[in-house]
Structure 1
Amino acid sequence: MTFRKISIIGTGLIGGSIALSLKQSKGYDFIITGFDIDPSSLDIALELGAINKKANSIEEAVNDADVVFLCTPIKEILQQIHIVSKHAKSGTIITDVGSVKKIVLKEAEKIKNDVYFIGGHPMAGSERKGISSADPFLFENAVYVLCPNFNVPIKVVNEFIELIKLTGANIILLDPEIHDGIAGYISHLPQLIAVLLVNTVGSMGTDYLSLSGGGFKDLTRIASSQFEIWHDIISFNREKIIEALDNFINGLSKYREIIKSNKIGELKPEFDNAFKLRNEIPSSRKGFLNVLHDVFIMVEDKPGVLSKISTALYEGGLNIKDIELLRVREGIGGTFRLSFGSENEAKKATEIISKLGYKIFTR
């Protein structure tokens, strides 16, 4: 890989997480320069070790950079593309992390031909914001969509893919318009539904929200996302979002009519189909690529349990791809989900963990 000098424009959650992820990549010595309109964000990024140095301007940040990540709201990205391309050296790759791709790629067609633009969308995030919430493992097993501009040689694309793989993400190449359509349904529509659901329940009074359980909280977690980011996303993907909303509203109207007519049995096929489709989405990955194999472990609430299990798996030569605490009751115990890269690894893990005396099952 020929890349060494990386610039991050916008050292918030996504930009900071990309920087931290690249910084921890073994065998590489990236020099990362950061620029942000918020000086305190740069200070924290430097303190965390996400960047090597701070820049006072975009022009300074991209000077001599091999790769430039634009990690700002889409409206700013559309402006920064031109600033960066004007001051970047020949052969520099410019990429973004915006949730809408068609308008960004259209704007990138206007830049000079001796730099390359590869649109990007890491399909991972958090309701939190800011460099303080940056996580080097944010993109682990997440889908990272790439939309190269028409003039980017395949050799350059492949080399950039190798760089992104260092974040732990799974790469998929998509046409920008196809990306925006999919994102409208699986990302932008759920955001609006979560916001409306919280506001609908909240309008009934605080007693309603105070009684909400884990299901409601899981369903509405993203309602805490910042509108400043979503303003541009909704604005620039209006057509696809309206299409998704129309289809969802039609579905709600259908359900309302079924319930109003007291034909509840007609909802059974809907539940059955949703169950089938939902189970086809692997819980062990973020996105829709590279299926992982799950092992579920029931453990007692005792200190050192997870360490004991992970040590045994390490000694058995196994690498845990993903881990999640599914449920827990303090003082009693809980269930962990461990994910592995192959069926054989999952079987071997089952054998190792069973010998430790823990109840285990697979799916």
Structure 2
Amino acid sequence: MVGRADARVRVAVVGTGLIGGSVLLRLRDTGLDVAGWDPDPATRRRAREQGILCPDVLEEAVAGRDVVFLCGPLPTLSETLTRVAAATEERCVLTDVGSTKAQVAAAATAQGLGRRFVPGHPMAGADRAGLASAEPALLDGAAWVLCPGPNGMAAFRQLAALVIDVFRARVVPMSAPEHDAVAALSSHVPHLLAGALAGAAQRSALRDAVLALAAGSFSDGTRVAGGPPRRTANMLLGNRDRVLTELAGVRAVLDELAEALRAGDAAALTSLLDEGRSARAALGERAFTTHQREFPAAADHAGELAYLRELGASGGHLTSCRVQGGAVTYTGHLPVPARLG
């Protein structure tokens, strides 16, 4: 059955660093038939030491699988996609976990893989890397972006059901360009800001004194600066235009804050800070309405695709996707007061 987390679903994970390794471990703990592969021989040995099938040859790892997660570095995804697609059957659903989507989505379309490749991005991570840092629960309950395409609805449904069942994920359906636009401000620019703040402290003549007094505000604001620099650079370069656009917006707010401070304008400064406080408070205070939508599983997918993309663009998510009796049923959640047309 679509979406059932049982031993009949055979999965492979290509690239077993922090995210890929966490995907791999969670799939294994759920009892699925899972194999891993990594270009690093030491990482493959570590996986085998944990009782995971991890062949030395990529093609052997993915052969006969129902779903393959591509979890390598962003610059390698297009090439890996080509190689994995050639080694798997047409029925095999392919996805990735990269932090930018438009580039790999375009590569998949150019290769004629739109029917079985679903770009994906689980919104979770840590300031460390490698299989040794992977945790089976790292992605549990995460917002997991999946990008449905007009020719790939069957693959989207299968994958959405799988990540909901296995990871208890909140699936956020979006187009690839829309994801990159949203992720630029929600994820990518914060890495630049964290790097800037930590870098300023590093350059300070009073560096050690600054670090001695650094409390929660500094620690929280610089957390992601502790991640691998090359990984962060790949992410930023992969979404460069959108990041620069959103960074300009952040600079504009900073300029307003600086001007209010320079002018000694307490009212303006308070108002600007209150604006930011409202967005911060909304992170933990959003209420959601729940609904169900049903579509014919074998009919024209235009209405289904429009519903999914509007749901994600409205800040909503899915917690169920089931195909049964010729119909697909979604359980969706929308932030109050958002409404779908």
Q: Can you list the C-alpha shifts for 1:27-55, whole angstroms capped at 9, x where unaligned?
A: xx422111111122122223334x3x112
Whether contact under 8 Å (1:68, 1:93) holds in the other structure is yes
Which letter does structure 1 place at the counterpart of 2:22?
Answer: S
Whether contact under 8 Å (1:94, 1:115) holds in the other structure is no
Partner of 2:120, secondary structure, is strand
Structure-to-structure mapping, 1:250-265, within 5 angstroms: 250-265=252-267
Q: TM-score, normalised by structure 1?
A: 0.73
Structure-to-structure mapping, 1:67-86, within 5 angstroms: 67-86=67-86
Looking at structure 2, the residues matched to 167 and 267 of structure 1 have their Cα atoms a distance apart, in angstroms, of 42
Partner of 1:124, secondary structure, is coil
Larger radius of gyration: 1
Residue 135 of structure 1 corresponds to 135
- Inter-CA distance 72–20: structure 2 relative to 1 (3 Å threshold): same
Whether contact under 8 Å (2:115, 2:155) holds in the other structure is no
Looking at structure 1, the residues matched to 185 and 115 of structure 2 have their Cα atoms a distance apart, in angstroms, of 33
**Counterpart check, 1:126 vs 2:126:** yes
Looking at structure 1, the residues matched to 265 and 94 of structure 2 have their Cα atoms a distance apart, in angstroms, of 55
Whether contact under 8 Å (2:114, 2:151) holds in the other structure is no
Whether contact under 8 Å (2:75, 2:234) holds in the other structure is yes
Partner of 2:283, secondary structure, is coil
Residue 10 of structure 2 corresponds to 5
Looking at structure 1, the residues matched to 202 and 154 of structure 2 have their Cα atoms a distance apart, in angstroms, of 53
Structure-to-structure mapping, 1:109-124, within 5 angstroms: 109-112=109-112, 116-124=116-124
Looking at structure 2, the residues matched to 12 and 30 of structure 1 have their Cα atoms a distance apart, in angstroms, of 20
Looking at structure 1, the residues matched to 200 and 177 of structure 2 have their Cα atoms a distance apart, in angstroms, of 32
Residue 172 of structure 1 corresponds to 172
Matched residue count: 281
- Inter-CA distance 41–115: structure 2 relative to 1 (3 Å threshold): farther
Whether contact under 8 Å (1:170, 1:289) holds in the other structure is no
Partner of 2:145, secondary structure, is strand
Residue 160 of structure 1 corresponds to 159
The gaps in structure 1 that reach 5 residues or longer are 292-363
Looking at structure 2, the residues matched to 20 and 143 of structure 1 have their Cα atoms a distance apart, in angstroms, of 19
Q: TM-score, normalised by structure 2?
A: 0.78
The gaps in structure 2 that reach 5 residues or longer are 3-7, 290-341
Residue from 230, 233, 236 that aligns with 1:231: 233
- Inter-CA distance 112–88: structure 2 relative to 1 (3 Å threshold): farther
**CA-atom RMSD, angstroms?**
1.9
Looking at structure 1, the residues matched to 288 and 142 of structure 2 have their Cα atoms a distance apart, in angstroms, of 10
Which letter does structure 2 place at the counterpart of 1:22?
Answer: L
Residue 21 of structure 2 corresponds to 16
Residue 357 of structure 1 corresponds to none
